Amino acid sequence: MQDVTKINDQICLMIVGGGPQLTELQEIVQHKNLQNYIFFTGPKESEYVPSFYHAADLFVSASITETQGLTFIEAMASGLPVLARYDKNLDGVILDGKNGYFFEDRKDLVEKILHLSQTDLSILSQQAKQEAQKYSSENFYQKILKTYEQALSKHHYCYRVVSISPENQQQYTVAFQFDHHQILLTLSGQVIERYGLSVGQVVDREELDALKDQEQVSKAYKLALKYLTYKDYTYAKMQQKLIDKGDFDDIQVEMTMDLLMQKNLIDDVEYTQSYFQKATRLGMGMNKIIHHLKKEGVSPFIIDAFLEEYSQDLEYDKAIELVQKLYNENTTRPQYALIQNIRNKLFNKGFSQDVVDKAIENFDFSIPKEHTMNLLTKEYHRVYNRYKNRYQSHILKSKIITFLVQKGYEYDDVLEIIEQLWEDTNDQN
């Protein structure tokens, strides 16, 4: 208090209670001439203690033996913010800065007392009262009641194993009896062994719920195996399929997925590698492969790791193979139209822009003049015969020229064919 009163002589300390060191403390106060700042009330009956709390603005304790914090709770219940020497036993009772403060040493204590003496303590006081409510007799009663109810529930809801009957080499029907009710669960021999189930054994409700989860996991696992006989699944797709089934809760689905992964039946890394091999055999580009993997829920980390090992040269080789195939199969398109068609197909297959451009640029799309003129002749007759009765001669001629150029034939080649065939076809009509 000497350090405090040197700076603020309006602050007083009231010590409530007695004890073996009371006389010693009074002598120290006399010796240091602090009689006007420190007051001793002596021992007080418990019924009068709240009055002393209400007479104060702040509760201070440097005790290191207050293991349960009862005096702190009493002070907070009276609306007093608390200053206490830090002790881990007070964690959760005193919330630093909310219903009071901890101090570390004498200097820290003096600074905090002086600071709080100049501070509006109304918010700290209100929060101290609110926190103290957690320790009220009503809340204590509710917690005790809940504990007793849990104990009674655990004792009352007990299920006795009355029979274990084999269904097949791996599955057993286990019958549990509760009063006049019987519950049947289908469990594997491994689960029965893990839980140590035997006829006459008693399990509580929590154990029974866990066994029910095991039964559901077994059903979900069998269902997943059925799905996997038709196609491969990623983790995300299988998880969603089991959830959509609607028979299993989230925990049961997660347990099933863990089991599938442990047995290597679901492996997104292997799925990615397998799909890539299949897709590249089908001439699919990297963009389309990545789009499919993302759609199937494969982690971006797995995709990125895969791409680090992937060579763009391999995608280019696949693109060239597809270009060659489409070029060889062409029987109707001129060079320009063929290039556009192949370009579009490469993009549709998912090849990247760079790979498409490189493949188109490096491939020899030259078509013999004779072959081009033969294609152009066939196309001319097809278009002429289709539209000859719809337009007058001069309009029909213009329409055919426009159509053939639009199809990708060179303008000069179109004019050459028109010049060769127009009069003959018109004379016939």
Which residue matches tokens 């020497």? 85
Each residue's pLDDT tens digit, 368-396: 788 888 888 888 888 888 888 888 887 88
- Gap between the Cα atoms of 99 and 417, Å rounded: 98
pTM of the model as a whole: 0.43
Any idea where the domains of the chain sit in the sequence? 2-135, 136-234, 235-311, 315-428
Closest C-alpha to 409, from 340, 343, 360, 357 = 340
The CATH number, out of the four listed (1.10.10.10, 2.40.50.140, 2.40.50.100, 3.40.50.620), of the domain defined by the range 136-234: 2.40.50.100
Superfamily assignment of 2-135 in CATH? Glycogen Phosphorylase B; (3.40.50.2000)
Residue 33 three-state SS: coil
Per-residue pLDDT of the chain (429 residues), as tens digits, is 788 888 888 889 998 888 888 889 888 989 989 888 889 988 888 888 888 888 888 999 887 766 556 788 888 888 889 888 888 878 878 888 888 888 888 898 898 889 888 888 888 888 888 887 877 767 766 777 777 666 555 555 788 999 999 988 789 999 999 878 889 999 988 889 888 899 999 888 888 888 999 899 999 999 999 999 999 999 999 999 999 998 999 889 998 998 898 888 999 988 988 888 888 778 787 888 889 999 999 988 888 877 776 666 677 777 888 888 888 887 777 877 788 888 888 888 778 788 888 888 888 887 778 888 888 888 888 888 888 888 888 788 888 888 888 777 888 888 888 888 887 776 555
Instruction: Give the whole-angstrom CA distance, residue 74 versus residue 68.
Output: 12
At residue 175's C-alpha, the angle toward residues 171 and 176, to 5°, is 135
3-state helix, strand, coil in the chain (%, to 5): 60, 10, 25
Query: For 350, left (φ over 0), alpha (ψ -120 to 50), or beta?
Result: left
Longest pairwise C-alpha distance within the chain: 139
161 touches 203 (CB < 8 A): yes
pLDDT of res. 155: 52
* CA 162 to mean position of chain CA atoms: 43
CA distance 238 to 89: 49
- Output 412-416 pairs: Cβ under 8 A, ≥24 positions apart: 413/334, 413/372, 413/373, 413/376, 414/376, 416/373
Take residue 168 and report the two structure tokens written for it. 């097949």
Query: Looking at residue 414, what is its pLDDT?
Result: 84
